[in-house]
């Protein structure tokens, strides 16, 4: 393995003491310009980079924060993580990103790893049991913030998911739909369950029976492939839906693909509504109606809460109506 240059190597090449190199790294204002130039030239020649881990162990400080999200490949979490990263960067901090895949054992393993890494705190999108798993971190003084979550016993930032589900289904009911499929995430994913709660509230508020109007399909992995497979099954059922509400826009892409491959017209025969309002929604052949979430703002607020303790208000989602659902049923 190639030798990593040390402070001693820099001192030897620059012809100064180890203490002088340490001053250049930590208190350059007390070092003469000539000595500063010599040490910096030696660092450049040796390709020297300070060992942040060792420095943190000596000082008791840490410059990293951990983030555990359900699936980093989902563009919703990409936007969320960008907001976190921007807020941390303003404080000179960096981010370790992990995906739990909605698996409780994997989440527990990741939390232990982050604790061992000595992170300053953990930002996490919760599932069933997350709060109990975070209790162990709290006992060792490691702070945490829940993201995309309801207010509760732990610091959290979130979007009113029940309101988002209500907005989506109210819109579909107003368009005349009376058979709506909701493609939900796994039952341990709380934001999805809140969206379902909002959908049920919308149906009841319209004086209708949710068991007649809504068909709920829980997807183990809320991705495009799962959305496509679920839609194919729904279309083959005795009572196919006239509208599909997806837990996120990625699932909705799979829905649209299944409909297109079977020659089902959108929105004339089946309307589609997604969730998140990703950048690609307007680029589709049939632009996708979606419930907009402020992804970057949510991430920024979560990181800010971890760093400063300043709570954020519950963010409010917004329905953005486009061609995929703009077609009243006769």
CA dihedral sign, ordered 85, 78, 316, 127: negative
Is residue 260's pLDDT more than 90? yes
pLDDT per position as a tens digit, 35-65:
999 999 998 888 876 655 455 544 445 789 9
Q: 167 and 286 in one domain?
A: yes
Q: 248 and 196 in one domain?
A: yes
1 within some domain: no
Residue reference for tokens 């030798």: 3
327 within some domain: no
196 within some domain: yes
- How confident is residue 173, by pLDDT bands cut at 50, 70 and 90? very high
Q: 217 and 120 in one domain?
A: no
37 within some domain: yes
Q: How far apart are CA 273 and CA 243, in angstroms?
A: 8
Q: 280 and 218 in one domain?
A: yes
Q: How far apart are CA 142 and CA 190, in angstroms?
A: 24
Residue 10 backbone dihedrals phi, psi, to 5 degrees = -65, -45
Domain that holds residue 204: 161-294
Q: How far apart are CA 146 and CA 219, in angstroms?
A: 23
Q: 237 and 192 in one domain?
A: yes
Number of structural domains found in the chain: 3
258 within some domain: yes
Cβ contacts of 139 within 8 Å, gap of 6 or more:
none
Mean pLDDT value of segment 220-231: 96
CB burial of residue 309 (10 Å; 0-12, 13-18, 19+):
exposed
300 within some domain: no
Q: 241 and 185 in one domain?
A: yes
Which of 157, 187, 205 is the last residue in one of the domains?
157
55 within some domain: no
Q: How far apart are CA 319 and CA 194, in angstroms?
A: 16
Q: How far apart are CA 181 and CA 229, in angstroms?
A: 13
Q: Say which range, 136-150, 181-195, 234-248, has the weakest mean pLDDT.
A: 136-150
CA dihedral sign, ordered 108, 129, 294, 219: positive
CATH code of the domain containing 203: 3.40.50.2300
Which of 130, 157, 184 is the last residue in one of the domains?
157
pLDDT per position as a tens digit, 272-301:
999 999 999 999 999 999 999 999 999 999
Tokens of 240: 């196919």
- CB atoms near residue 62 (< 10 Å): 18
């Amino acid at each position: 393995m190639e030798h990593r240059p040390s402070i001693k190597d820099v001192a030897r090449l620059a012809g100064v003491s180890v203490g002088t190199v340490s001053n250049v790294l930590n208190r350059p204002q007390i070092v003469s310009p000539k000595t500063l130039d010599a040490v910096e030239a030696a660092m450049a020649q040796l390709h020297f980079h300070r060992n942040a881990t060792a420095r943190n162990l000596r000082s008791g400080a840490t410059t990293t924060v951990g983030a555990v999200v359900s699936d980093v490949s989902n563009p919703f979490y990409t936007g969320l993580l960008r907001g976190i990263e921007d807020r941390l960067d303003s404080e000179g901090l960096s981010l370790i990103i992990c995906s739990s895949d909605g698996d409780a054992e994997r989440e527990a393993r990741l939390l232990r790893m982050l604790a061992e890494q000595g992170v300053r705190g953990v930002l996490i999108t919760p599932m069933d049991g997350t709060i109990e798993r975070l209790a162990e971190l709290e006992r060792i003084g490691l702070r945490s913030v829940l993201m995309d979550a309801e207010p509760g016993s732990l610091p959290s930032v979130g979007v009113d998911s029940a309101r988002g589900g209500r907005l989506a289904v109210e819109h579909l009911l107003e368009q005349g739909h009376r058979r709506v499929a909701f493609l939900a995430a796994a039952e341990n994913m709380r934001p999805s369950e809140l969206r379902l709660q909002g959908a049920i509230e919308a149906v009841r508020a319209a004086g209708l029976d949710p068991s007649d109007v809504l068909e709920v399909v829980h997807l183990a992995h809320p991705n495009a492939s799962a959305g496509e497979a679920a839609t194919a099954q729904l279309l083959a059922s005795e009572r196919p839906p006239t509208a599909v509400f997806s837990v996120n826009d990625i699932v909705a892409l799979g829905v649209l693909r299944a409909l297109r491959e079977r020659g089902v017209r959108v929105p004339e025969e089946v309307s589609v509504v997604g969730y998140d309002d990703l950048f690609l929604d307007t680029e589709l052949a049939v632009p996708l109606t979606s419930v907009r979430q402020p992804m970057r703002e949510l991430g920024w607020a979560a990181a800010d809460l971890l760093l400063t303790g300043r709570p954020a208000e519950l963010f409010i989602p917004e329905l953005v109506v486009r061609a995929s659902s703009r077609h009243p049923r006769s």
